[in-house]
Chain A
Amino acid sequence: MIIDLQRFITSERPYWTELESLLYKMEFDPKQVLNLATVRRFHYLYERAAAGLAKVNTFASEPDTRRYLESLIARAYGEIHETRDRRHRFVPLVWFFQTLPQTFRRHARAFWLSVGITMAGAVFGGLAVAFDPDAKAAILPEMFANHLNDPSERVAREEHRTRHESAGQMSTFSARLMVNNIKVSINALALGLSWGIGTIVLLFYNGIILGLIAVDYVAAGQTVFLLGWLLPHGVIELPAVLMGGQAGLVLAGALIGWGQRRGLRARLRAVTPDLTTLIFGVALMLVWAGLVEAFFSQYHEPVLPYAVKITFGCLELALLVAFLSRAGQTRPTKAVLPQPPSASA
């Protein structure tokens, strides 16, 4: 209170300006590496400004200076105290071949839970259609209206189709599939906010539709057609949606925090990067699946033998499994144990 404010500001101002310009440089180009002298200077300026703020805080009449200093210190604080890993440059290949599979494996339990829920839904859907053929009409959403008829009819129709859609129509179809599936996956992630309930319902419902259509085709004796139709895109699309569910369950897990010592905010902070990685991986997979579904899956027997389609699907699945389970594994280095001091010494 006793400080001479005018003189204080006049004498401190150059330091604040210097801090501000340094901050501006750092924010403008986050990639640059500061040398030790600059870092020291930066820290000194930050502390000096913070001390200035402490002094000005007691001063009734200087809200503007205080606010200016507060914003300055807020920015410098963010730069200094950020301890989370700051990758200087984002390398897409490293992200794809290391970060993505590693993140997937880190949350493998959530993935298997997601698989389990979908399987339960599939069993439910399968049983429903096996015991009550009318269930199909009641459960299937409008999107799948073309599956309401007898599967054998559809197979016959598809196999005797003489003309196929133009490339343009197929690309529109492909784009629509991608958009729809990515939206479903984002929903699966976001519904994790409902402590996972929404995600579970969504996965279960997806499972029901899957089980229902599968049992319907198998019961009609069209297993080969079903595999040929679904496998090429399904082996990527389904795992992708399951990974969306996995992300939702990871988020729910962080919210619930079962058996974790960290606080809620720390838990959420810890999973945010993983969720981002997962959802971008899911989007990539769904783009691929959309392309395959529109340009490959929709061609049937006379044009494209089922054996080719099924083999292609199996190959994709094998690649996916290998990728998710092996890629980005760090070779375990031989640990050298420190030798205990010998007893004789």
Chain B
Amino acid sequence: MSKTSTLLIRTPEGIVFSQLLAGPVSRFMAWLIDAAILFAVSSILGIVIVLLSMVTGGAGQAIGLLAFFVLSIGYSIYFEWMWRGQTLGKRILRLRVMDAEGLRLKFSQVVIRNLLRVVDMIPMYLVGGLALVLSRRAQRLGDFAANTVVIRIPKLTEPNLDQLLAGKFNSLRAFPHLAARLRQRVSAEEGSLALQALVRRDLLEPQARLELFAELANHFRAKVAFPTEATDGTTDEQYVRNIVDLLYRSNRPAAGAAAVDSATA
């Protein structure tokens, strides 16, 4: 993962947690959704105002003028404050405005980041876009002044491992010491990469599927070399499946664990 895509925050307890920073494209998409919503609301408002001015004359127009202004400035401020850093567009795209140091988002920060948008918008969001691409924490100028970042909230869904891996004999399980070494050497990203490849295996073209799993299998073979009797006759995909099985279901046999349990009981 590149340095620019995560924000690392270190707590006084020495624990480091990371947040995924949102890139320019997803933020732009969120902005588009918000702009569309604003456009729709102002169109409806426009009709109401026309009807209102038929009754009241100029006063309706005045109310309309003020309403448009308040709407254009207040929309983001209101929603980001009420929804803890999310507008409708951000909510749909799972983005969130956050304090850059992981603290609570304050009302003043929301106001300042949205008011300073006028500078970011010169011309056609060029200033803001450039700042976003160049800055280490993917901030536009308004974010910078208000000390905020926009993060991505990943979907937290547990993959259905049982459906994926159940009932398959795993020849690698016979070598627990190698399995332990494997878990030690494989990073979380590598593990989830292999898992994702398995989850989406049916979406791949046959040729691409072969190549992808060959590449993955070779990668894992380079990490830990299992003896040939365990790997003979398994395809690359089966090998990756076995690896994932080892990584994600480390304690299925639970023979040792059961023994410890009975000992402590």
Contacts and interface: CB of A to CB of B under 8 A. Distances in A.
Interface in A1-33: 1, 4-7, 27
Interface in B35-87: 53, 56-63, 65-66, 69, 73, 84
Contacts of B19: 70, 74
The interface size bin for chain B is 35 or more
B18 interface: yes
A61 B185 CA distance: 10
A272 B112 contact: yes
Interface string A179-196: 100100011011101100
B53 to A, nearest CB: 8
A187 B159 CA distance: 49
A320 interface: no
Interface in B100-154: 100, 102-104, 106-109, 111-112, 115-119, 141, 144-147, 153-154
B30 interface: no
A168 B58 contact: yes
Query: Does more than half of chain A's interface fall in helix, strand or loop, or is it mixed?
Result: helix
A73 B65 contact: no
Contacts of B158: 64
Given A68-B156, A273-B108, A168 B61 contact: yes
A339 to B, nearest CB: 40
Interface string A70-82: 1101100111011
B106 A84 contact: yes
A70 B62 contact: no
Contacts of A194: 119
Contact of B17 (A4, A70, A189): A70
A275 B109 CA distance: 10
Contacts of A345: none
Query: Does more than half of chain B's interface fall in helix, strand or loop, or is it mixed?
Result: helix
B19, B60, B111, B112, most chain A CB atoms within 10 A: B112
Contacts of A86: 104
A77 B11 contact: yes
Nearest to B148: A272
B29 interface: no
Nearest to B158: A64
Given A64-B156, A77-B102, A166-B57, A265 B147 contact: yes
Interface of A: 1, 4-7, 27, 47, 50-51, 53-54, 57, 59-64, 66-71, 73-74, 77-79, 81-82, 84, 86, 166-172, 174-176, 178-179, 182, 186-187, 189-191, 193-194, 198, 251, 255, 265, 268-269, 272-273, 275-277, 279-280
Given A186-B118, A268-B147, A272-B112, 14 more contacts: A6-B254, A7-B257, A50-B11, A50-B15, A60-B191, A67-B154, A70-B19, A77-B103, A167-B58, A175-B61, A175-B62, A186-B115, A265-B100, A275-B108
9 contacts: A51-B15, A63-B188, A64-B158, A73-B15, A81-B11, A168-B61, A172-B59, A178-B66, A279-B115
Interface of B: 9, 11-19, 53, 56-63, 65-66, 69, 73, 84, 99-100, 102-104, 106-109, 111-112, 115-119, 141, 144-147, 153-154, 156-159, 180, 183-192, 247-248, 250-251, 254, 257
